[in-house]
Chain A
């Protein structure tokens, strides 16, 4: 065979005591390796990073994946499109609405199903609420990763309000299964608009508090500023997307560039970073939360009337033969789906381009040269959700 294939054991041979380089001298040193994970708290799930270290400095990082690989793409080949939607919640569970919406939108566009303004508007509001919710959780956990416990409590306290809003309308707090091809599972709860407005009024001052508590902190600044710098060209080549890409100064936001839903009618800005260090990746998410709140404010009083579901429940949608690629901006970056259909009511092949899978690859390029504590900061600002990596 002309193509050489390897195993993890082959790679780890370079980590054996004989192979690791050592320096002679007054202070003799030797490289060593440690496993970070699979149960390390800052990997946010079950992700294993094998790190080769020289003292505290990282020489190399090898991610080992697959601890929560469920074969979603294989399972999807046996389910109807509507059933597949329920699988997508389980990938990036902090962007369940967006995942549902992406698959629904792909099916709708391929099968030429038009959905009304009300459905689009409600979908957009939920997607933006979820972006705030996801960033709140990230912010809390990020503080925890850096060793600050208070943000964790603050983030979860404020996230609870959004989770309650979701629960009231959809019945779910994490996996909602709310957006389906042809519409929405349920109509809005009567108290939805009031609760959303209450939340906005509550959270606007809170986000200033976030900045005071955490962003202005000297220790935080020293842990983040100038650490893990990702240049614009590298970010594009390494396949980064979402806040990670925009922190490097590349303006690529699907809500602006390939608008879906009702984003075309909304006024909002795409926050961009300058240097692409951990600080930019951190701060861009706080700005995004403010932008999302502005968007929701523009929409929440202007939800048009109409039906919330346009297809009969028993319909098994068939897609014409072809290849369908669609993408959407989740809280973490570009989620894409490639559906290959042979004209049946089940997909022949369904592949998800998940944002975390691609963003994690950035870590292997960023980490070498930094300290092991910086790896935690780098990994945390990439904001990976492991079930989305493994699928």
Chain B
């Protein structure tokens, strides 16, 4: 099986799957709500049988690192509305200010572009011992609500690897039987591999 054929048969699993271009292996972008279902199909499909989870890790993308935050996004109306929301107690001259709780819906068109939010990218590297092929799954979840389905029912090693990601990033795995810190102590504050992590012992970089 060539990598093009592998990609085609992976994409055929679900219409919402997209190829991830910026990777050195066959890689798929998977919507977070589809992850468990796609992973199950990848393990069960007779021509694929991805029976090994080689590696699982996460990447933290804060708001400033996301490409959509660049000035190219032409939505000043949205951002100014969002910023002016806390200052609603000012003089009631403007009509939109009257509709207090929902500053964004007041302008009607504002809900078109959602404000970018910090994300975790979860990477799953799978291997098929029968097909001798590798595939990479990339899923994005918001940092504000970092919940994703656990895949430990498909690969038993996932229970262990997911605990490492929980420990260092704070990703919460739904259905995980024993989600607790793995490398750090239980009373550790924060999640060190997040880009915005701070503690008292950190030194200034060069």
Contacts and interface: CB of A to CB of B under 8 A. Distances in A.
A103 to B, nearest CB: 14
A238 B178 contact: no
Interface in A1-45: 1-11
Nearest to A349: B59
B65 interface: yes
Interface string A141-180: 0000000000000000000000000000000000000000
A185 to B, nearest CB: 23
Interface in A278-306: none
Contact of A338 (B123, B147, B159): B123
Interface in B92-151: 121, 123, 125, 129, 132, 134, 136, 138, 147
B10 interface: no
B205 A78 contact: yes
Interface in A63-77: 65-66, 69, 71, 73-74
A366 interface: no
Nearest to A232: B129
Given A73-B193, A110-B24, A323-B27, A3 B172 contact: yes
Nearest to B192: A74
Contacts of A390: 183
Nearest to B125: A325
Contacts of A334: 54
Interface in B168-206: 168, 172-174, 176, 178-186, 192-193, 205-206
B187 to A, nearest CB: 8
A322 B121 CA distance: 13
A4 B179 CA distance: 7
Contacts of A10: 180
Interface residues of A, number: 51
B53 interface: yes
B52 A322 contact: no
Given A338-B125, A349-B59, A5 B156 contact: no
Interface residues on B, range: 35 or more
A238 B123 contact: no
B192 A71 contact: yes
B183 A69 contact: yes
A359 B155 CA distance: 14
A271 interface: no
A10 B181 CA distance: 12
A109 interface: yes
Q: Is the interface of A mostly helix, strand, loop or mixed?
A: mixed
A340 B57 CA distance: 11
Nearest to A257: B132
B75 interface: no
B183 A323 contact: no
Interface in A234-264: 234, 236-239, 250, 252, 257
B181 A7 contact: yes
Interface string B4-40: 0000000000000000101111010000000000000
Contact of B59 (A2, A340, A365): A340
A238 B157 contact: yes
A390 B184 CA distance: 10
A109 B182 contact: no
A351 B55 contact: yes
Contacts of A4: 179
A28 B57 CA distance: 47
Contacts of A327: 54
Contacts of A257: 132
B199 to A, nearest CB: 11
A276 interface: no
B59 A348 contact: yes
Interface string A341-363: 01000001101010001100100
A323 B22 contact: yes
A109 B55 CA distance: 20
A322 B23 CA distance: 5
A336 interface: yes
Nearest to B52: A236
Contacts of B205: 78
Interface in B62-90: 65
Given A74-B193, A323-B123, 9 more contacts: A2-B147, A239-B52, A322-B22, A323-B136, A325-B23, A325-B25, A342-B65, A348-B59, A357-B164
Interface of B: 20, 22-25, 27, 51-55, 57, 59-60, 65, 121, 123, 125, 129, 132, 134, 136, 138, 147, 155-157, 159-161, 164, 166, 168, 172-174, 176, 178-186, 192-193, 205-206
